[in-house]
Copies of this chain bind each other. A is one copy, B any other.
Amino acid sequence: MALLFSFPVFLSTIMAGWQPSSSIGSIIRTFLSKYSLIRPNRIYPLLLIMLPFPAVNAHVRVGVTCGFLSSLNHHSRSISTPAFVPNNQNKVSRFNQQQQQRQPGGFRMVTTTKQRAASTKAEISSKIKEDQHSLVSDMLYRIRECNTPIPRDVIEFCVDGKTLGKVTPNLAKLLCSYSDKETESPVFQLTTKEGDKSVSTSPSRRILTLGEEAGTTCISRTNAIMSVMEQLRDDGFISGWRDELYPIAEGFYDEPLLLIERAAVPFVGGLEYGVHINGIVVVPSNKDGDDITTKMWMARRSKTKSKYPGMLDHIVAGGQPANMGLMENVIKECMEEAGIPDELVRKGIQPAGAISYETYVVPRNNRQGEKDDQIGVVSRAVMFCYDLTLPDGFVPKVVDGEVDHFFLWTMDEVMECMGKAYNDPMKPNCYVVVIDYLMRKGYVSPETPGYLDVLRELRSGYCC
């Protein structure tokens, strides 16, 4: 009986790879491989042999399966499996030379640390895998530059029971400390979700909302908030005042409950929307035209721009005004920023989803321009992404002076620019849109650890 117990334990131990250098283990593995016993439909006879011994049955099954999996790791290394097989449309030249190389096994294999150490040599040989790992790591770095951690104690800004924004408790207190200049009654108030004004209840249930004095119409609320925001501007908290009213609603398609000066949107943690366009050119890269190289138009921002002067940018991007349709805005921005005629836009444009991010910003918020860590704001953005395929030969023109010049990049150059140490980076949120493009178009293999994190974090903000 002891033998009945010990043999399966011994067998499963070997097969699970705990003695990878053991000659007995090798012999058993070679035997199983040779007679194709380690294929899924061959494992069951092995299990059947063990059936008469129910007490050890479960243990053996685990052992056999672990062994089976680890054997298959070796097995699968002999199968040619490129990490990434781009289709014609999206061929990446830097992978071309490496396509013949073989990828070591699958990831997500049942491996122990010892097995990993043993198989390191084989893995190092894969240049593709290494490139993809660093690309994904760079992408996460870039996405996280836009998605800085939001304080855990943020509370919601709610009006009419609808959540419109996110504010830190300190910012909420600051907002509550101001009154309407004319009526001298407070505009903002801290309360609970149930409308109980006592703030003594659990902090997690607190919300920032508007007092009764702010009224119940879009215009009355807008007036009341404007009065507070103008004082915050005068007191040095809000900079970059634009004299442009921005609608605040629960969702993009909802009627706004109030309007707010654009520079003050983060002071209630409201969502800002924009359109971002990837300018794409598809060029045949051999005579037959069956091999294709994709390029992307880039812009160098004007050195006189107030934000991110001289940095790299999309061919076209812009905030979404309240009074326009998205496509109307795309057509307008394409003409204004890059001189792309209406017809070319209509022919080549393709909406391709949206990405979102949340950034915690500590503005310079006093007259001395010093930062006060106590008053940070949550800047939240949703960017509608478009791909615009332009004809080979078309060159964008500088029209409104927001751009210094345009230039065409290969997708290799676009990917190189992701690097953490790249010394001429893009404007931070452009990276996020370009990363979304690379993910949609298959430039990253889903076998690369971090792939799912990139997909998730691309949509950290709100929408999707």
A327 & B108 in contact (Cβ 8 Å cutoff): no
Report the minimal beta-carbon distance from A229 to chain B, rounded to whole angstroms: 10
Cross-chain contact B328 with A76 (CB below 8 angstroms): yes
A73 to chain B: which residues have CB within 8 Å? 323
Encoded as 1 (CB less than 8 Å from any B CB) or 0, chain A from 235 to 278 comes to 00000000101010101110110010000000000000000000
Most chain B Cβ neighbours within 10 Å, of A12, A328, A349, A444: A328
- Option from B81, B87, B350, B354 in Cβ contact (under 8 Å) with A90: B350
Our pick among B81, B88, B446 for the contact of A384 (Cβ within 8 Å) is B446
29 residue pairs bridging A and B, Cβ less than 8 Å apart:
A47-B243, A55-B182, A58-B226, A58-B227, A62-B223, A62-B245, A63-B219, A69-B322, A76-B328, A79-B328, A82-B327, A85-B345, A87-B348, A87-B387, A88-B347, A106-B324, A108-B249, A108-B252, A108-B253, A110-B255, A110-B256, A110-B323, A253-B449, A326-B445, A351-B444, A352-B440, A354-B452, A354-B455, A455-B459
Say how far A67's CB is from chain B's closest CB, in angstroms.
11
Question: Contact partner of A455 among B86, B442, B463, CB < 8 A?
Answer: B463
Cβ-closest chain B residue relative to A452: B463
Report if A456-B450 is in contact (Cβ < 8 Å); known contacts: A110-B247, A322-B110, A352-B440.
Answer: no
Interface residues of A (CB under 8 A from B): 12, 16, 40, 44, 47, 55, 58-59, 61-63, 65-66, 68-69, 72-73, 76, 79, 81-90, 103, 105-111, 182, 218-219, 222-223, 226-227, 230, 243, 245, 247, 249, 251-253, 255-256, 259, 320-329, 331, 345-354, 382, 384, 387, 389, 439-442, 444-447, 449-452, 454-456, 458-459, 463-464
**CB pair B325 A76 closer than 8 Å:** yes
Q: How far is the CB of A46 from chain B (nearest CB, A)?
A: 12
Contact B252 A346, beta carbon cutoff 8 Å: no
Given known A76-B328, A321-B40, contact A351–B109 (CB-CB < 8 A)? no
Inter-chain CA distance A146–B375, complex, in Å, is 42
Q: How many copies of this chain sit in the oligomeric assembly?
A: 2
- Are B350 and A106 in contact, CB atoms less than 8 angstroms apart? no
Which chain B residue lies CB-closest to A450? B253
Cβ contacts under 8 Å, A445 to chain B:
326-327, 351
Tell me if A441 and B76 are in contact (CB < 8 A): no
A429 to B371, CA, bound (A): 50
Assembled-state Cα–Cα distance A226/B57 (Å): 10
CB pair A68 B351 closer than 8 Å: no
Q: With a CB–CB cut-off of 8 A, which chain B residues contact A447?
A: 325-327
Is the beta-carbon distance between A323 and B85 smaller than 8 angstroms? no
Q: When the two chains form their complex, are residues B325 and A69 in contact, meaning their CB atoms are under 8 A apart?
A: no
Chain B residues within an 8 Å CB radius of A346: 82, 85
Question: Chain B contacts of A439 at CB under 8 A?
Answer: 352-353
Partner of A325, one of B106, B227, B245: B106
